[in-house]
Chains A and B, each alone.
Chain A
Amino acid sequence: DAGVIQSPRHEVTEMGQEVTLRCKPISGHNSLFWYRQTMMRGLELLIYFNNNVPIDDSGMPEDRFSAKMPNASFSTLKIQPSEPRDSAVYFCASSPQGATNYGYTFGSGTRLTVV
């Protein structure tokens, strides 16, 4: 099993540009989570999906952020337009439904730098 796969690993972009982060969850996992990690705020849950349906997006900072999960094997997190304060490491995680039994498997993250 290749685990949760995120791309790109690093992204440097200019303020105002659109950024798209990608995630492939573990096959058979039907819950998918997007987290943002910064030194100041730690791990923040942005949004999560169950069976490709967004369940809770209350952590999405503002309308500049959007996430989709068109099928069970792919999700994207888009920031448009990007701002320097969006600089962080973005993690995708997946789990079998019901993290209470299995916990999450995280990807290696995408380090985003907005200049």
Chain B
Amino acid sequence: QQQVKQSPQSLIVQKGGISIINCAYENTAFDYFPWYQQFPGKGPALLIAIRPDVSEKKEGRFTISFNKSAKQFSLHIMDSQPGDSATYFCAASGQTGANNLFFGTGTRLTVIP
């Protein structure tokens, strides 16, 4: 059973456009929601993370929007650049005594020059 559902599976965006990736979860015990970025041949790297006490977090061109009531969160990449082309994973974890992250299935983003 997928704890975190991610969409779309792939995304193609023009340079300068906005990339939006969505995730949903069911477990209300989750209280930490990171996004990871993975380039080919590399391991995933932490990009940005949010806790449910805020509805939005911005770091440079990357913004997480969080909707606690809908149990959804999304990553927005403003002014997308070809260098942003990578696979993005959302994830979630909670204070359940275990500290393992549950990952979404990933979104392959391609930014066209």
> Which residues in A have some Cβ–Cβ distance to B below 8 Å?
4, 31, 33, 42-43, 45, 48, 50, 55-56, 91, 93, 95, 97-101, 103-109
Contacts and interface: CB of A to CB of B under 8 A. Distances in A.
Contact of B105 (A42, A56, A93): A42
Contact of B44 (A43, A45, A101): A43
Given A43-B106, A56-B100, A104 B46 contact: yes
A12 to B, nearest CB: 16
Contact of A103 (B43, B49, B104): B49
B100 A99 contact: yes
Interface stretch (B17-25, B54-62, B91-99): B91-99
Interface in B62-113: 89, 93-95, 98-106
Contacts of A33: 100
Central interface residue in A93, A97, A100, A101, by most chain B CB within 10 Å:
A100
Contact of B43 (A31, A97, A100, A106): A106
A50 B98 CA distance: 9
B103 A106 contact: no
B93 A99 contact: yes
A108 B41 contact: yes
A93 B43 contact: yes
Given A43-B89, A106-B44, A109-B43, A99 B99 contact: yes
B65 to A, nearest CB: 19
B45 interface: yes
Closest CB pairs A-B (n = 7): A106-B43, A100-B32, A103-B46, A42-B105, A43-B103, A99-B99, A103-B34
Contacts of A98: 99
23 contacts: A31-B99, A42-B104, A43-B89, A45-B101, A48-B100, A50-B99, A56-B98, A93-B43, A95-B99, A97-B99, A99-B100, A100-B31, A100-B93, A100-B95, A101-B32, A103-B49, A103-B101, A104-B44, A104-B46, A106-B44, A106-B45, A108-B42, A108-B43
